[in-house]
Amino acid sequence: MLAEEGGNVSALYRRLEQARVAGLLEDLGVGRVPSASTLQRVVRRDLRAGRVLEVARPARGRVVAGRFDQVLADLRLTRLGDGPPVLDGDDAAPAQSPDQDRGVEGASRGGVRMFVPGARVVSTGVVAAVVEAVGHTVAARGIGCVFGDPGVGKTVAVQQALHLLPARVPVWRAVMGVKPGLPQMRASLLEALGLAAGSLSHRAQPADRALGEALRRPGVLFLDDAQRLSPPLLDYLRLLWDEPGTAAALLLCGAGAERVIARAPALRSRVLTWHQVTGLDQERLTETLALFHDVWEGVDPADVGWADATVARGNFRTWAKITSHVYALSKRGRDVRVDRALIEQACARLGPYP
């Protein structure tokens, strides 16, 4: 507590007094509040005895003492586990893309296309589980892998988890090309971390030193489509994270990422968190879709169940595409009802490979 107050003993005393008045001393593990002079005397005594107190005030943008519990506590998703789906509290309005900031109509979130105007990010139990896994990994400054079948919503869930992290935790997103070489990967990492990619990407030692220094800052580096990385590139990441003083977390995401990492045993043994993203919850599918887009409000659950059983099979991306076609068909005229016939017509537009 003294560290959290930046070494200010008077502030610590005021905090204890406030806890006593509120009846929260037991929650802090404190039996009674000593006087301010007693607190001052104890701190001076311990300093004279040579005890090193972690009382330095944390710099801006760094994770404070007690970071593990604090990061988890600061996650703002209000309903975890198997509860009903909820709208993202900060984004109850339709999700926007960078193009929308410039006045161009679109529908995406964090680079994930949702195919239909008015689509919203929905926090389901699946998303909540990803949020918790990512929060744990970031708090522990470890390495995590989020994997699952294509289109189940891995990137949407991870973007939501990163969005919910405390503002003081920086997030660096690296974009990997198809079958990148080591220079291309260095350039992507340098660019993500805000370093001089052009002058450093082909200079191995200066680039590695710059990356090592940057990763001493607490934060999280997110690599999507990690299945594109070869074992030597994954081993390069492992060497970066083995550097003494590395304080950043590494988050790898992708369909088949777990199989690629399995071929790099040194990195695999260092992965703290493995999390598989499953499909949409069948029992809450109608409720989730109604939150995802208004076009699904009042639709017969049996019609939704038919589309899921025959076409979508719980796949988030497929449902986003079905929603796009249902939305377009429902706008052909006034009072067009979203029924089984219209849903069948929308599903037919997805072709043989939805």
Q: Which residues pair with 130 in a beta bridge?
A: none
What is the span of the domain harbouring residue 196? 73-85+124-276
Q: Are residues 265 and 162 in the same domain?
A: yes
Q: What is the pLDDT of residue 282?
A: 87
Q: Are residues 298 and 243 in the same domain?
A: no
Q: Are residues 163 and 261 in the same domain?
A: yes
Q: Are residues 143 and 231 in the same domain?
A: yes
* Paired tokens of 106: 């679109």
Q: Are residues 183 and 233 in the same domain?
A: yes
Q: Are residues 322 and 192 in the same domain?
A: no
| 323 located within any domain | yes
Pairing of strands 86-87, 122-123: antiparallel
Cα gap 200→197, rounded to integer Å: 5
Helix axes 182-192, 204-214, angle to 10 degrees: 40
pTM over 0.95: no
Helix ranges restricted to H, 171-315: 182-192, 197-200, 204-214, 231-241, 257-262, 265-268, 285-292, 301-307
Q: Are residues 198 and 248 in the same domain?
A: yes
Q: Are residues 80 and 163 in the same domain?
A: yes
Cβ–Cβ under 8 Å, residues 279 and 315: yes
Per-residue pLDDT tens, the chain, 354 aa: give them. 777 666 778 888 888 888 888 888 877 777 888 888 898 888 888 777 666 554 444 333 443 434 444 555 554 433 344 567 776 644 433 333 333 333 333 445 555 677 888 888 888 888 888 988 998 999 889 999 999 999 999 998 998 888 888 877 899 999 888 888 988 898 899 999 988 777 676 678 888 899 999 999 999 999 999 999 999 999 999 999 999 889 999 999 999 999 999 999 999 999 999 999 998 988 899 999 999 999 999 999 999 999 999 999 999 999 999 999 999 999 888 778 899 999 999 999 998 877
Q: Which residue has the tokens 């198997």?
A: 82
Judged on CB neighbours under 10 Å (0-12, 13-18, 19+), 312 is buried
Q: Are residues 141 and 256 in the same domain?
A: yes
| 201 located within any domain | yes
User: Residue 239: which CATH number?
Assistant: 3.40.50.300
Number of domains in the chain: 3
| 217 located within any domain | yes
